[in-house]
């Protein structure tokens, strides 16, 4: 088994693991593509782990240990990582940063990437009613940090389908809802995102699930993330990804046009603003 070398200085465990992965690969005389073939993934995935854009997951680390004959060395390194996100969402948060396009659907709440601080705080408080304010503030900060991928004016391309129930579910009160919907509208008007709303009248045609995110990449196949309460699942099996695409396209077809959707979003925002005044 390989011996763990001194981390030294300010080197983080993640940096150490990346260095060790590269060192073992090169010592074994393998290219990134060569190692990828042996653990049933791509060379691009290996490169992303070595440069730190994707984390070393325990199940991948087990395969790497098998190839290098390093016992459970890389497995233990992977399990030492502490993500600031819940385990079920940690890899999805990383994939969002790598995606060239993200297609989302939500049936009850505004997706996290588009939430304002007040809306996010109301969501977090709803799920953690007795938590300390500092804890909730930390969760909100992580969510807003995720949204920084939208600071780039073009990448990733964003297409969002919201069920009308999302607009009508009052989170945080009318003032918060008015600001939240205006925030969405502003993103649309600056051409950063495309939004469609599935009206209640669409019936079952607009029923895709609670939250679905389809991510596309420049050098990897599409993946789907689905989420329920305290649980999330990444799907990369091609047949299942295609089934999600079909459902997503059916949902978009049942939705209002982007232009009509924007009008509805702004109209509902004004309704909330008037309600707040009275």
| pLDDT tens per residue, range 181-222 | 999 999 999 999 999 999 999 988 776 778 999 999 987 889
Neighbours of 94 (CB within 10 A): 17
Bridging pattern class, strands 231-235 and 223-228: antiparallel
| pLDDT tens per residue, range 68-122 | 999 999 888 887 766 666 666 777 888 898 899 999 999 999 999 999 999 999 9
The set of residues, in sequence order, having a beta carbon less than 8 Å from that of 207 and lying 6+ positions away, is 107, 251
Burial class (CB in 10 A: 0-12, 13-18, 19+), 246: exposed
Nearest to 185 by CA among 258, 243, 98: 258
Average pLDDT, the chain: 89
The set of residues, in sequence order, having a beta carbon less than 8 Å from that of 234 and lying 6+ positions away, is 91, 92, 95, 223, 224, 225
Backbone angles phi, psi at 10, to 5 degrees: -105, 15
State what percent of residues in the chain have pLDDT above 90.
66
pLDDT band at 4 (very low <50, low <70, confident <90, very high): very low
* Domains present along the chain, CATH in parentheses: 13-79 (1.10.260.40), 87-277 (3.30.870)
């Amino acid at each position: 088994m390989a011996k763990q070398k001194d981390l030294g200085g300010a080197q983080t465990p993640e940096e150490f693991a990346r260095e060790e992965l590269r060192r073992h690969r090169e010592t074994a005389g393998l290219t990134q593509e060569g190692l990828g073939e042996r653990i049933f993934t791509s060379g691009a995935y290996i490169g992303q782990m070595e440069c730190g854009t994707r984390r070393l997951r325990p199940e991948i680390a087990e395969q790497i240990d098998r190839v290098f004959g390093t016992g459970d060395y890389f497995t233990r390194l992977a399990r030492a990582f502490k993500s600031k996100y819940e385990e079920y969402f940690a890899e999805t948060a990383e994939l969002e940063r790598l995606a060239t396009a993200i297609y989302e659907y939500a049936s009850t709440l505004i997706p996290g990437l588009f939430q304002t601080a007040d809306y996010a705080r109301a969501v977090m408080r709803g799920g953690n009613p007795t938590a300390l304010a500092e804890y909730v503030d930390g969760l909100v900060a992580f969510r807003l940090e995720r949204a920084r991928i939208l600071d780039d004016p073009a990448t990733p391309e964003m297409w969002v389908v919201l069920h009308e129930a999302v607009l009508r579910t009052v989170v945080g009160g009318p003032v918060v809802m008015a600001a939240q919907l205006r925030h969405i509208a502003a993103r649309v008007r600056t051409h950063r995102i495309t939004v469609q709303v599935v009206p209640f009248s669409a019936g079952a045609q607009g029923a895709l699930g609670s939250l679905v995110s389809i991510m596309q990449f420049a050098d990897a196949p599409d993946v789907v993330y689905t989420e329920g309460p305290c649980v999330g699942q990444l799907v990369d099996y091609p047949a299942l990804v295609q089934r999600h695409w079909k459902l997503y396209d059916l949902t978009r077809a049942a939705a209002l046009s982007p232009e009509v959707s924007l009008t509805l979003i702004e109209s509902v925002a004004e309704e909330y603003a008037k309600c707040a005044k009275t």
